[in-house]
Amino acid sequence: MISRFGVSLDSELLRDFDRLIARKGYRNRSEAIRDLIRESLVQEEWRGEGPVVGVVTIVYSHDKREIVDALTDLQHLHYENIVSSMHVHLDEENCLEVIIVRGRAGDVRTLADRLISTKGIKHGRLITTTTGKGLR
């Protein structure tokens, strides 16, 4: 079932919004607003106790063996929160690791923080997404 509702807002804000959604390729405001609402709901899931899914990306130099060891230890310690991981050799020196994580938001965030804060990591990021359950 579809519900319709009206939204009142500043015309300059609406103009900026229309420009933004056109650039992103949305066909209409409704699609863009639906995605904004879903994004808020997903971020709310991450504040709750329910299960979440995320992706951790880390870039580091494999020359530093202690980083590789520390990352492996961490992933074995938290194997219950790790679905899968992929390692890409970016060049002679740099590695990209992509780790799919799931579980309770707090546990997953703690694991991501520990991976990203491992000494020697050049760049790390947690992408917060959803199991899709309960999201329309």
Closest CA to 101 of 114, 118, 119: 114
Which range, of 8-16, 67-75, 85-93, 105-113, touches Ni ion by CB under 5 A? 85-93
CB of 60 to Ni ion, least distance (A): 9
Q: Nearer Cβ to Ni ion, position 39 or 93?
A: 93
Cβ–Cβ under 8 Å, residues 64 and 120: yes
| Subset of 92-131 contacting Ni ion (CB under 5 A) | 95
Q: Nearer Cβ to Ni ion, position 86 or 135?
A: 86
CB of 54 to Ni ion, least distance (A): 22
Give the DSSP letter of residue 123.
E
- Kindly tell me which residue out of 15, 24, 38, 89 binds Ni ion, with binding defined by CB under 5 A: 89
Cβ–Cβ under 8 Å, residues 23 and 71: no
Which residues make up the interface to Ni ion (CB under 5 A)? 62, 89, 95
